[in-house]
Amino acid sequence: MNDDDSSDKLQADLNDAFVRLRHFAGSMVIFALLSSGVADLLAKSRYSLDRLADMGKWDCARLRALLEFGWKEGLVGVVEGEYYATAELERCLRLRGWFELMVGGYGNIFLQLGTALRRSPRSRHPKILHRNGRYVGRGSCNMSKYGAFRLINELIERSSNNVREIVIADLGCGDAAGLVDFCSRRPDSFGVAVEPDKAAFLAAKALIRSQQLSHRISTVNCSCADFLRKRFVHDPPSHLVLSFVLHEILGTRGEKGVTGFLSAIRRRFPRCAIVVVEVDESFTKEQLRDSQIGLGYYNAYLLLHTFTGQQLMPASFWMTLFERCGYDVATTKAIPAAADPLGAEKGFLLLPR
Ligand SMILES: C[S@@+](CC[C@H](N)C(=O)[O-])C[C@H]1O[C@@H](n2cnc3c(N)ncnc32)[C@H](O)[C@@H]1O
């Protein structure tokens, strides 16, 4: 036993540790309630345990354990034996993207951080850890609904004056929620949803079908680079969208990989405008330490990139690179401050020179 383990000191230390463990378990449970569909049902109506278990074909004892955890955490309410979603769980439903990305998409990465620190004996670069692509795509898109998609729509509209037919190829589209949103607003537009991750691609296909947009949005399961070698309906596109994708290419293929890719776009689609969205990583350590979004989100987001083969850069890096590749950066804009108070998410409209 340690001399410092007087009962008061031990209790105080344990209480601090419990706060961290509570938030860890709480976030996992919130993700379970969201991803299973329990939260959606409880937000619509009140259900007894048996009725709820039957609706989702869930095991009664496990469902009860989850709901009781949720009740103690203020996520689930009970009246006369019937469960319902509290205002707190409804808030989590609205912000589900953040839980889907961080817990569903990157949860397995957090568990591997310690072992993955080791140097690789055979290579200068450590092994890239693989995320859950379905939840990275879906979570990112559900977050983008609060900022990036609006910005993308605005930049596309702004550059569509002399365009005969708007055809948007969304490269790395996740579950294609952005493209579905744009094409629903503009009945005269067409889309191509491009996504290399198989699970995210299938989710994109399902969403497009469910919105009855399959006749206007086609789907391709491949990387950005492979896409340039394919032909598709409505070829060539008037706009390419690269939303939170270039830093993925930079992390795996380096700067040469990105410039090679942008130059290949210029050769294949010489008149096509490009909308890029990236996280400008030029915030200060103090901004990250002293804000809720810094400590609660960006601190973990930045950490994960090093382990998953992604590389964020300051906006100035991207502007120089775009110009070097033959594009004028017509507009840059941050997303609305409510969704990103540090103003890190930035959109760029690139027009070929
Ligand atoms: C963070 S998500 C962004 C999803 C969506 N574009 C948005 O704005 O929310 C990044 C997506 O890029 C995809 N991606 C990664 N590398 C790619 C590549 N080389 N070509 C195309 N897509 C890629 C991932 O599978 C993932 O769905």
Does the pLDDT of residue 247 top 70, yes or no?
yes
User: Would you say residue 311 has pLDDT above 80?
Assistant: yes
Q: Distance of CA 313 to CAs 170, 225, 278, 324, Å?
A: 21, 21, 8, 16
Which structure tokens are listed for 322? 């775009």
User: What CATH fold (topology level) applies to the domain 7-94?
Assistant: Arc Repressor Mutant, subunit A (1.10.10)
Q: Ligand 1 centre from 190 Cα, in Å?
A: 20
What's the CA gap between 208 and 180, in Å, rounded? 7
Burial class (CB in 10 A: 0-12, 13-18, 19+), 40: middle
Domain-wise residue ranges, the chain: 7-94, 111-352
Q: Which two tokens stand for residue 160?
A: 């569509």
Residue whose tokens read 């947009």: 213
Per the structure block, which two tokens stand in for 296? Answer: 């609660």
pLDDT given for residue 42 in this prediction? 98
Q: Is the CB of 137 under 6 A from ligand 1?
A: yes
Q: How far is the CA of 28 from the centre of ligand 1 (A)?
A: 24
The CA 96 to ligand 1 mean position distance, Å, reads 19
DSSP secondary structure letter of residue 128 = P
Please tell me the residue having the least CA distance from ligand 1 atom 16.
248
pLDDT at residue 1 is higher than 70: no
Taking the chain, what is the end-to-end CA distance rounded to the nearest angstrom?
A: 71
List for the chain the helix, strand, coil content (%; round to 5): 55, 15, 30
Q: What is the mean pLDDT of residues 227-231?
A: 94
User: Mean pLDDT, to the nearest integer, of 230-247?
Assistant: 94
Whether residue 240 has its Cβ less than 6 Å from ligand 1: no
Residue from 248, 302, 311, 340 to probe ligand 1 pocket by mutation (most atoms less than 8 Å from CB): 248
Would the CB of 248 count as within 6 Å of ligand 1?
A: yes
Contact by Cβ (8 Å): 106, 172: no
One-letter amino acid for residue 42 of the chain: L
Using alpha carbons, select from 279, 265, 242 the residue that is nearest to residue 327.
Answer: 265
Q: Is 350 in the pocket of ligand 1 (CB under 6 A)?
A: no
* Sheet strands side by side (includes 82-85): 47-48, 82-85, 76-79
Pairwise pLDDT comparison (273 vs 333), residue with the higher score: 273
pLDDT band at 3 (very low <50, low <70, confident <90, very high): low
Domain 111-352, second-level architecture: 3-Layer(aba) Sandwich (3.40)
Q: What is the mean pLDDT of residues 6-12?
A: 92
Strands (E), 119-166: none
Residue 310 has pLDDT above 70, yes or no: yes
Tell me how far the alpha carbon of residue 300 lies from the centroid of ligand 1, in angstroms.
19
Q: Name which of 3-12, 43-52, 83-92, 165-174 the model is least confident about.
A: 3-12
**What's the CA dihedral at 115, 117, 123, 128 to 10 degrees?**
80
Same fold for the domain at 7-94 and the one at 111-352?
Answer: no
Residue range 36-92, pLDDT digits in tens: 999 999 999 999 999 999 999 999 999 999 999 999 999 999 999 999 999 999 999
Measured by CA distance, the residue closest to atom 12 of ligand 1 is 172
The model carries a pTM of 0.94
Q: Where are the beta strands (DSSP E) in the chain?
A: 47-48, 76-79, 82-85, 167-171, 190-194, 217-220, 239-243, 273-279, 327-334, 345-352
